[in-house]
Amino acid sequence: MRDHFELQAYDAMGRLGELTVPRADVTVETPALLPVINPHHETIDPGRLAEFGAEILITNSYVIYGSDEVREPALEDGLHDLLDFDGAIMTDSGSFQLAEYGEIDVNTTEILEFQREIGSDIATPVDIPTPPDADREQVGREMETTQARLETAADFDAGEMLLNAPVQGATYPDLREQAARDAYATGLDVFPIGAVVPLLNDYRYGEMVDAVAGAKRGLGEDAPVHLFGAGHPMMFALAVAAGCDLFDSAAYALYARDGRYLTVRGTEHLDELEHFPCECPVCSARTPAELRDRPTHERTKLLAEHNLHVSFGEMRRIKQAIRQGNLLELVETRARAHPTMLDGYRALLDHAEQLERTDPASKDAFFYLSGESAARPEVRRHHDRLARLSPPADLLLATDPDAHAGADADVWAVEPPFGPVPRGLDQTYPLTAELPDRLDDRAYRAAARGVNRLAETSDAAITLVDDGWPASALDLLAEGVDIDTTVEE
């Protein structure tokens, strides 16, 4: 059992937790964002990051290792003094450079020793970041190399320094699961899901979700999960709902240098803005035109500050959503920002069985926002629970059961997307859901599956009152379910 990661609350697969980093004597609240700091190109003074809410940052130990300018100061004074940062510091190993250039001049033991010497709090071995579209043979071969390096790291004398165990597997969920299971067995501490940046750059959010879900199946619940290179606030809620706890962002600085302005709905170009859609200190104190008139270095710094404010603001919003039990509503709201984000949300709901294992059985509210809501884990759970019921021998299902009080059969409500609702349960979660007056066909099709579930697991003679159900839902009903179009409302 990993005693450095304590879980406090769940919503879907998203969770609130505390990651204890002993070498820094810091406890990081998760989900957490790690700003990426390049010691050669500091867009923002790392000593100011606490102003934005940063409790942890990440920098690249291989860059420091190969730099005459910062290597000796790092060895002599330590990373915390070099970067003027009191929180926890994670270091990458050079795997990014390996992926970019094909080779690096350091091995796992050497880079771990260097990370320990410069005072890293969470260190990383040299894994092989396999690109998304590699064939299975290459993926399997490189997974074996990565696993061997993780086992080397497991034997390394790290002291109080935590160690990352990157999970590879490209776009093969089963290989992600295998890699995660093998990484978890090493006893290492934090589990970054690697080589997803190409997916994120190409907006392949559905495949990203499938990769994360595969990795999560191979990891224990006490495993903190880091989504390497995921730095755009638009996708934080989706990734948290899939079970990720840590994110590292270079986007705040890289986008700022290119004049790009982050929002939770996507990216804007400063040159195209007439008004700032944000209330952060940067945006509330000036107009886009005023910012465009600033010298380049000052404009870049202020844009980076805005980007960090937006990113940390979204992370706080996600934490509150988990507390209130409406994380999936936030995910769905974000999914409407871009078609590929919607792909990601639909991919997440394809893993409803996995989501349902940790999703709380009771929350404050269920808001039906679109057809995707019909696939949420709460609906699946209700359908599963229908198998526990013993309905009356003759059962009439109606949208308004009070209108059929004189019927010969017992009357239950039927509520899209849930299906049959026994009397007395209509005030329990999720049957208290807030529903729009105009439901889409997917809500009715989900309800039809609920009716079928009850029919399959009981001997009741079930009749459904058709008071305007779409044909696509009625066609799904099992043969034993009668449809009554004549009962008066």
**Residues forming the annotated binding site?**
127, 195, 278, 280, 283
Residue 409: phi and psi, rounded to 5, are -90, 160
Annotated binding site for substrate: 127, 195
CA nearest to 212, candidates 148, 162, 248, 168: 168
| Strands, sheet with 482-484, edge to edge from the N-terminal-most edge strand | 419-421, 410-415, 394-398, 461-465, 482-484
- Total count of residues recorded for the chain: 489
92 a catalytic residue: yes
CB 248 within 8 A of CB 228: yes
Question: Are 322 and 11 contacting, i.e. CB atoms less than 8 angstroms apart?
Answer: yes
3-state secondary structure the chain: CCCCEEEEEEECCEEEEEEEECCCCEEEEECEEEEEECCCCCCCCHHHHHHHCCCEEEEEHHHHHCCCCCHHHHHHHCHHHHHCCCCEEEEECCHHHHHHHCCCCCCHHHHHHHHHHCCCCEECCCCCCCCCCCCHHHHHHHHHHHHHHHHHHHCCCCCCCEEECCECCCCCHHHHHHHHHHHHHCCCCEEEECCCHHHHHCCCHHHHHHHHHHHHHHCCCCCCEEECCCCCHHHHHHHHHCCCCEEEECHHHHHHHCCEEEECCEEEEHHHCCCCCCCCHHHHCCCHHHHHCCCHHHHHHHHHHHHHHHHHHHHHHHHHHHHHCCHHHHHHHHHCCCHHHHHHHHHHHHCHHHHHHHCCCCCCCCECCCHHHHHCHHHHHHHHHHCCCCCCCEEEEECCHHHHCCCCCEEEEEECCCEEECCCCCCCCCCCCECCCCCCHHHHHHHHHHHHHHHHCCCCEEEEECCCCCHHHHCCCCCCCEEECCCCC
Tokens standing for residue 475: 């066609």
d(CA 453, CA 447): 10
Residue with tokens 């329990």: 428
Among candidate residues 92, 210, 359, 466, the one labeled active-site is 92
* Token representation of residue 385: 């629970």
CA atoms in the 13 A half-sphere facing the CB of 58: 25
| Active site (catalytic) residues | 92
